[in-house]
Amino acid sequence: MNFEKLTIEHDEEFVKSVSFKLIASNRHNAINGSFVFAEDINEFQISNRIVSRKLNGRYWQLYNVSINGCHLLDNSMGKRNPIFDVVMKEVRKSIRNLPNRCPMKKHTKISVLDFHYNEELFPPYMPSGTFDSWFMLSSKKKLLMKIFTSTEIEARNSEKYRRRKL
């Protein structure tokens, strides 16, 4: 899995600064950067949508979920759904200073270092292709930040994938 494109939008009223970039890291592209909220974020929603491009140029939706961000931070979601537990463990590897509970404090720099998708967490039958993802943070029905990524995936049973792993 390799990030090919990254774009960020944010509301300056709520996000004081944001800076993300793609970097080459260990045979894949990863995301490095940081963000700082302009005010305390006491409650927030996380929305994530993933679509795949078909060969005919059309899209099909793979995933579309919205969850309470505070529940994700304190891992109460992980206690009910093991997928969220795995996701948060992966996220915390790259975002070590992410708080364990709300609020997300203003003027606190949240750093993202070498964020990438762990291929081993995805099913081996994932097909090769391009996947577009929108990751959005909102609070009180206002969009705080939207992160768009386009990711190339090589099926694990493909020759190209096997050569890359050597």
In tens, the pLDDT along 125-135 reads 777 888 999 99
Q: Output the CA torsion sign for 149, 64, 106, 79.
A: negative
What's the pLDDT score for residue 58?
83
What's the pLDDT score for residue 26?
84
What's the pLDDT score for residue 118?
83
Q: 63 or 148, which is more confident?
A: 148
Q: Output the CA torsion sign for 121, 147, 77, 110.
A: positive
Distance CA 96, CA 11 (A): 24
Q: What is the DSSP string of 83-142?
A: HHHHHHHHHHHH-TT--SSS-B-TT-EEEEEEE---GGGS-TTPPSEEEEEEEEEEETTE
Model confidence band, residue 3 (pLDDT cutoffs 50, 70, 90): very high
What's the pLDDT score for residue 22?
97
Q: Which of 5-9, 27-31, 56-60, 75-79 has the lowest mean pLDDT?
A: 75-79
What's the pLDDT score for residue 56?
78
Model confidence band, residue 90 (pLDDT cutoffs 50, 70, 90): confident
Amino acid at residue number 51 = V
**pLDDT tens digits for range 104-115:** 999 999 999 999
Q: 55 or 99, which is more confident?
A: 99
